[in-house]
Structure 1
């Protein structure tokens, strides 16, 4: 399975990174930084509107090379100017051609929250995210035990980091809730075979209480998709390939927000009329 390969590659990478920068050194660097987040991202997601996390991604296992031109700092600036709510930065190198250096560089050109998008399987990666400027980390339920989920959530909070806890099915959503996740991302992509079912997130939405913010991930390509997600009472969407391929990224972001806002206004009118 692709997910197994991704985890194995991550284990090898982190072992090498630990030899270069020992855990204790990285931990001291992380703990020396402020543990007070610049923004409470979980709380931000509960404010009105559809919130958008735009991704910086040049390749993936399912699509191969998505873009050949990757001026990621320019794209980060464009996202910021368009009013993006957060930027997801791929740091996994073997399959996504990401780099931890991208995260560090993007931190220098924007003040919006940054999500380190990677396969977090070791506390080392959480400290590493903090040191390199992340505000949010990704925790994928499918590759972590219940104890790891709880421990990593606690470690992230102690460092002033927010965790986006990703689930793909009902059992994983329940595990995320039991661990205390405040933001759950429902992935429409099955990480075992990388197939996409856009309706997956909508089917699982009812399992999550309104006190927990919910993000729909993968397969969101056009304004109608954003409208459907918003109608299902999601707090936000994570958009990667569609934004990376868009000629006018700012316009697509604005269109997503406008369509979702129009849909919300229509729902309010219907409810008022009822």
Structure 2
């Protein structure tokens, strides 16, 4: 996966270079100014957690490099509406086209129809993409620590916040966690997938959770399939989850989300 990550970043650099030829940062600022105010991704999660409830970021995701096509009959708006009915707190929309068969349009379409805060799930490597994300209507962006230098991590994080967006900062190990904690990011995503072996283990969240103080919120990502998984993570004082694949494989993703959260999925 680390090799795949390198490939994705190399492709993303080409995409960004092409994008800059079409729209300058000044163009994107103008478009972003016409967007509605960001919906408060962090606060939506915080409100749930403070009440003692569970916050789920439900993911709109067609495919992945490791699993291929996850859902053939893919209608992002219908899926998002299903998640809304199923009790999702926020949404995550894949916009990477080359490796995840996502689209920028999916994010815009989903946000126009569903009132939940939306995360743009992509590989951010350049300030241009942060302006582009706000122009698309994103309420939050993902920053993957493994993809970025410390300097760029801080720059992109601070820029996103200056534009009114929140940041979900994703880590995989202790070294990346220390780097994330050196920023002002309030949402720390712990990805349970090992980048070298593809295997997932909830013990990653269990171990790394201990490094995070109470001022930030931990989001456990990947490998969450059953109600027992949710219960285990709650016992580790983790109450926010990003869940995609295990929901997307069901005919009614929102119904599956509801079952997962109410202890009905073994």
TM-score by length of 1: 0.89
Task: Quote how far apart the aligned CAs of 1:46 are.
Answer: 3.4
- Check the 8 A contact 2:59/2:92 in 1, yes or no: yes
**Corresponding residue SS for 1:137:** strand
- Check the 8 A contact 1:35/1:158 in 2, yes or no: no
Task: Quote how far apart the aligned CAs of 1:35 are.
Answer: 5.6
Tell me if 1:187 matches 2:191. Answer: yes
Stretches of 4+ moved more than 4 A in 1?
31-39
Max radius of gyration: which structure?
1
Aligned counterpart, 2:145: 141
Q: Which runs of 5+ in 2 are unaligned?
A: none
Q: Which runs of 5+ in 1 are unaligned?
A: 261-274
Aligned counterpart, 1:2: 4
Task: Quote how far apart the aligned CAs of 1:196 are.
Answer: 2.1
Tell me if 1:25 matches 2:53. Answer: no
Task: Quote how far apart the aligned CAs of 1:198 are.
Answer: 2.8
- Identify which of 152, 158, 176 aligns with 1:172: 176
Name the CA distance, whole Å, in 2 between partners of 1:60 and 1:211: 32
Distance 1:202 1:31, change over 3 A: same
- Identify which of 160, 163, 173 aligns with 1:159: 163
- Identify which of 230, 248, 263 aligns with 1:259: 263
Task: Quote how far apart the aligned CAs of 1:71 are.
Answer: 1.2
Task: Quote how far apart the aligned CAs of 1:33 are.
Answer: 4.5
- Check the 8 A contact 2:39/2:116 in 1, yes or no: no
Q: Deviations over 1:22-45 (max 9, x none)?
A: 222112322454666456345335
Aligned counterpart, 2:93: 89
Task: Quote how far apart the aligned CAs of 1:192 are.
Answer: 4.5
Q: Deviations over 1:158-210 (max 9, x none)?
A: 11100000000011111111112200000011335533223211121111111
Tell me if 1:44 matches 2:21. Answer: no
